[in-house]
A and B are shown apart, each in its own frame.
Chain A
């Protein structure tokens, strides 16, 4: 599970945060170190393990949080607007990064976002939810080829379609 904030423990190093995830899963002391290193390498943070969260940028922190979430060896990764607080450039790169990690690990990712383009850029399926109660309003199957670019016309067109449906949904609440 990933939050909007990285929510790293500030007294632990990047590696320490990942290792805590492993430890609470019951991984032995010796394997922890090696596995944490591997996970950090997976999110392109090899050699940054000794830094503390406050010595990392927002994008790097979010990647450490991703490594920590992966340390739990989950079947499903739930990401709650994880890139919402990042600048556009970092966010684009992290989309590529997430797509790569998703391809490498074969994890199922549930990605919550208010950014429709982000959904079109990343998803295989886009599920539009109603607000209170949160029911499925519509579902879009995305069959655009990967790799995708967020600025590509196909992604934009799909985003337009989803946005129209989203607006309808929002307007319904205004009545």
Chain B
């Protein structure tokens, strides 16, 4: 036996203990953490409402065009108690979910193929980025020609809006996998699809998530544009309600629906932010000292 086993064990354990400076210790209580992230948002909200009230008080526009925050929030409170509102929300949510899910499938598939097959990359890599810059509303005339005024027209545009971002996120994630990890994977005997599944894909995940987040933003915008343009008589939707409020010159109702759209966007953003943070924490990309 080389060195005294027991002494070595003790020395190693001592060194390990010294190299650690309290892991996870000092995490704040949950209430404190929530409050710390919440109060700046509440302050910003109060500021925005305050500015809005000031503009109203300045009588820049008559109040049947630009109503005061109080009126709008009262209208919002009334709307959310109606069954029609929740019907509209559910129709919109179903469209968003279907469209986004389709976009993930399409974008993921295209992304995976383009990222791994080199000639394909040369052929359509730039095209994907090009598609991303295309305003999704510009697709609607074509979508309406192809699918008439239908659910499919809306889905078509939502998918076209979101899929390029999702594909791009995957492609750039795969491009930026640290070569040392690929080497490690090869060293362990992984190659081809095994290497992709065990090393490349997990390593690309943070970038994928960024793509998914951006894809969602595009999907949501496309969906709102679609619901304004493609209004199906028997199906109330959030975008449709917005347009309806404008036709009736019902400003409080219009603004109330805008707040609903904004809120949904914010909630999704927070959800993606939380997922991103968890992932980065897991991957050791967050400085835990702060």
A associates with B: yes
With contact pairs A54-B284, A60-B16, A96-B8 given, residues A9 and B189 touching in the complex (Cβ less than 8 Å) = no
Which residues of A in the span 59-88 have a Cβ within 8 Å of any Cβ on B?
A: 59-60, 68-69, 72
Residue of chain A at shortest CB distance from B12: A44
A6 and B69 alpha carbons, distance in the complex (Å): 58
Evaluate contact between B184 and A7: CB separation under 8 angstroms. yes
Evaluate contact between A8 and B15: CB separation under 8 angstroms. no
For the complex, is B43 an interface residue (Cβ under 8 Å from A)?
no
Chain A residues within 8 Å of B16, by CB: 48, 57, 59-60
Evaluate contact between A103 and B282: CB separation under 8 angstroms. no
Evaluate contact between A11 and B23: CB separation under 8 angstroms. no
For the complex, is A34 an interface residue (Cβ under 8 Å from B)?
no
One of B111-119, B151-159, B197-205 contacting the partner = B197-205
Chain B residues within 8 Å of A170, by CB: none
Q: How many A-B residue pairs have CB under 8 A?
A: 82
Evaluate contact between A89 and B15: CB separation under 8 angstroms. yes
Judged by DSSP, the binding face of B is: helix
Evaluate contact between A3 and B180: CB separation under 8 angstroms. yes
Chain A residues within 8 Å of B190, by CB: 24
Chain A residues within 8 Å of B284, by CB: 10, 52-55
Which residues of B in the span 63-99 have a Cβ within 8 Å of any Cβ on A?
A: none
For the complex, is B13 an interface residue (Cβ under 8 Å from A)?
yes
Partner of A11, one of B13, B19, B183, B202: B202
A103 and B184 alpha carbons, distance in the complex (Å): 26
Chain A residues within 8 Å of B23, by CB: 55
Residue of chain A at shortest CB distance from B186: A1
Against A, the Cβ 8 Å flags (1 = close, 0 = not) of B162-196 are 00000000000000000011011101111000100
Chain A residues within 8 Å of B181, by CB: 7, 9
Evaluate contact between A72 and B188: CB separation under 8 angstroms. yes
Distance of B149 from chain A, by nearest CB (Å): 46
For the complex, is A5 an interface residue (Cβ under 8 Å from B)?
yes
Distance of A103 from chain B, by nearest CB (Å): 6
Evaluate contact between A9 and B2: CB separation under 8 angstroms. no
Evaluate contact between B2 and A8: CB separation under 8 angstroms. no
Chain A residues within 8 Å of B12, by CB: 44, 93, 97
For the complex, is A138 an interface residue (Cβ under 8 Å from B)?
no
A8 and B189 alpha carbons, distance in the complex (Å): 15
Residue of chain A at shortest CB distance from B202: A11
A13 and B202 alpha carbons, distance in the complex (Å): 13
Evaluate contact between B180 and A5: CB separation under 8 angstroms. yes
For the complex, is B11 an interface residue (Cβ under 8 Å from A)?
yes
Indicate the member of A11, A68, A90, A147 with the most B CB atoms within 10 Å: A11
With contact pairs A53-B284, A72-B189 given, residues A44 and B180 touching in the complex (Cβ less than 8 Å) = no
Indicate the member of B16, B180, B189, B194 with the most A CB atoms within 10 Å: B16
Evaluate contact between A1 and B187: CB separation under 8 angstroms. yes
A90 and B199 alpha carbons, distance in the complex (Å): 29
A98 and B11 alpha carbons, distance in the complex (Å): 14
A53 and B262 alpha carbons, distance in the complex (Å): 40
Evaluate contact between A96 and B2: CB separation under 8 angstroms. yes
Partner of B8, one of A11, A60, A100: A100
Residue of chain B at shortest CB distance from A99: B2
Chain A residues within 8 Å of B2, by CB: 96, 99-100, 103, 146-147
For the complex, is B283 an interface residue (Cβ under 8 Å from A)?
yes
A17 and B13 alpha carbons, distance in the complex (Å): 21
Can you pick out 21 interface pairs between chain A and chain B where the beta carbons lie within 8 Å of each other? A7-B181, A7-B184, A9-B202, A10-B284, A11-B283, A20-B188, A44-B9, A52-B284, A53-B284, A55-B23, A55-B284, A57-B16, A57-B19, A60-B16, A68-B188, A93-B12, A96-B2, A99-B2, A100-B2, A100-B3, A103-B1
B residues lining the A interface (CB < 8 Å): 1-3, 5, 8-9, 11-13, 15-16, 19-20, 23, 180-181, 183-185, 187-190, 194, 198-199, 202-203, 205, 282-284
A residues lining the B interface (CB < 8 Å): 1, 3, 5, 7-11, 20-21, 24-25, 44, 48, 52-55, 57-60, 68-69, 72, 89-90, 93, 96-97, 99-100, 103, 146-147
Q: Which 7 A-B pairs have the closest CB atoms?
A: A54-B284, A57-B19, A7-B184, A147-B2, A99-B2, A96-B3, A24-B189
